[in-house]
Structure 1
Amino acid sequence: MNRGQSFLLLLIGSVAILTIFVILPFVEYVIASAILAYILFPFHVRLSRWLRSLLSRRIRASLARRLGNMLSALGLILTAIVSVILPVAYISWVFARDLADIARGNSDIDVVAIEAEIETLTGQEIDVGELLTMGGQLLIDSLFGGVSGIVTTGLRASVGLSLALFLVYYTLIDGPMFVRWLRSTSPLPQHVTSDLVDRVDSMTRGVVIGHIVVALLQAVVAGIGLWAAGIPDVVFWTFVMAVLALVPLVGAFFVWGPAAAYLVAIDQVTAGVFLAVYGVLVIAMVDNYARPLVIDQQAHLNPAVILLGVFGGIYSIGFTGLFVGPIVIGVLAATLETFREDYDAI
Structure 2
Amino acid sequence: MLQPSTTPRFLSRELLDVLIRAGLIAVLAAFCFRIFAPFLNLMVWALILAITLYPLQAWLRGPLGDRDGLIATLIILVAFAVILVPTYLLGVAVSASVERGIDVVKNGSFHIPPPAESVAAWPLVGQRVYGFWAQASTDLTGLAQKFAPQLKDVGRALFDAITGVSAGMLVFFLALIVAGILMAHGEKGHRSTVQIASRISGPENGRQIADLCTATIRAVAQGVVGIAFIQMLLIGVAFVLMGIPGAGLLALAVLLIGIMQLPATLITVPVIVFVIVTQGVSTATVIFSVYVFVAGLADNVLKPLLLGRGVAVPMPVVLIGALGGMVTGGVIGLFIGPVMLAVGYQLFWRWVKDQPQAERVQERTPL
AA aligned opposite 2:154: G
Which position in structure 1 is the counterpart of 2:159?
140
| Structure 1 residue aligned with 2:88 | 90
**What CA distance in whole angstroms lies between the structure 1 residues aligned with 2:18 and 2:55?**
40
Residue 274 (structure 1) shift: 7.1
- Contact preservation (8 Å) 1:223, 1:234: yes
Q: Is 1:226 the counterpart of 2:239 in the alignment?
A: yes
Q: Which residue of 1 aligns with 2:185?
A: 174
Alignment of 1:186-197 (within 5 A): 186-197=199-210
Query: Does structure 1 residue 211 correspond to structure 2 residue 224?
Result: yes
Q: Partner residue of 1:73?
A: 72
Q: By how many angstroms is 1:48 displaced?
A: 2.4
Q: Unaligned regions of 5+ residues in structure 2, if any?
A: 1-13, 121-125, 134-142, 354-367
Tell me the matched-pair count: 308
In the other structure, the counterpart of 2:11 is none
Q: Which residue of 1 aligns with 2:279?
A: 267
> Residues 246, 45 of structure 1: CA spacing in aligned structure 2 closer, same or farther, 3 A cutoff?
closer
Q: Secondary structure at the match of 1:296?
A: coil
Matched-pair contact (CA < 8 Å) for 1:260–1:273: no
CA contact (8 A) 1:202 1:299 kept: no
Paired residues of 1:310 and 1:325 also in contact (CA < 8 A): yes
- Shift in alpha-carbon separation, 1:217–1:136, aligned structure 2, 3 A: farther
Are residue 36 (structure 1) and residue 49 (structure 2) matched? yes
Aligned partner of 1:122 in structure 2 is 127
4-13 vs 163-172, which deviates more?
4-13
Please identify the structure whose Cα radius of gyration is greater.
2
Q: What are the equivalent positions in structure 2 for 1:257-336 lying under 5 Å apart?
A: 259-260=271-272, 262-267=274-279, 269=282, 272=285, 275-276=288-289, 279=292, 292=305, 296=309, 298=313, 300-301=315-316, 306-307=322-323, 309-310=325-326, 312-314=328-330, 321=331, 324-336=332-344
Render the CA deviation track for 1:148-201: whole Å, top value 9, x for unaligned.
Answer: xx8xx55x965x456434422221122332232232232212232233223322
Q: Counterpart of 1:184?
A: 195
Deviation at 1:326, TM superposition (A): 0.8
Distance 1:255 1:89, change over 3 A: closer
CA 1:285–1:22: 2 relative to 1, 3 Å: closer
Among residues 335, 341, 351, which one is paired with 1:343 in the alignment? 351
Q: TM-score, normalised by structure 1?
A: 0.65
The aligned amino acid for 1:122 is Q
Using the aligned pairs only, state the percent identity. 17
1:114, 1:25 → 2: CA distance?
52
- Asked if 2 retains the 8 angstrom alpha-carbon contact of 1:218 and 1:287, the reply is no
Q: TM-score, with normalisation over the residues of structure 2?
A: 0.62
Give how far 1:19 is off: 3.7
Deviation sequence 1:275-327 (CA, Å, 0-9, x none): 3486499888898789846860646357676455446545xxxxxx3xx2210
Q: Deviations over 1:247-283 (max 9, x none)?
A: 9xxx646753673354133325587367348649988
Matches of 1:138 and 1:114, distance apart in 2: 29
**CA separation in 2, counterparts of 1:184 and 1:235?**
46
> Following TM superposition, by how much is the alpha carbon of 1:42 offset from its aligned partner in structure 2, in angstroms?
0.6
Deviation at 1:337? 0.6
What residue is the counterpart of 2:139 in the other structure? none
Shift in alpha-carbon separation, 1:235–1:50, aligned structure 2, 3 A: closer
Question: Are 1:196 and 1:335, in contact at CA under 8 Å, matched by a contact in 2?
Answer: yes
Structure 1 unaligned spans of 5+ = 53-64, 315-320
CA contact (8 A) 2:235 2:292 kept: yes
Cα separation, partners in 2 of 1:91 and 1:202, compared to 1, 3 Å: farther
2:231–2:295 Cα contact (<8 Å) kept: no
Q: Summarize the Cα distance change of 1:261–1:88 in structure 2 as closer, same or farther, 3 Å threshold.
A: closer
Change (3 A) 1:273 1:122: closer
- In structure 2, C-alpha distance between the alignment counterparts of 1:203 and 1:143, rounded to whole Å: 30
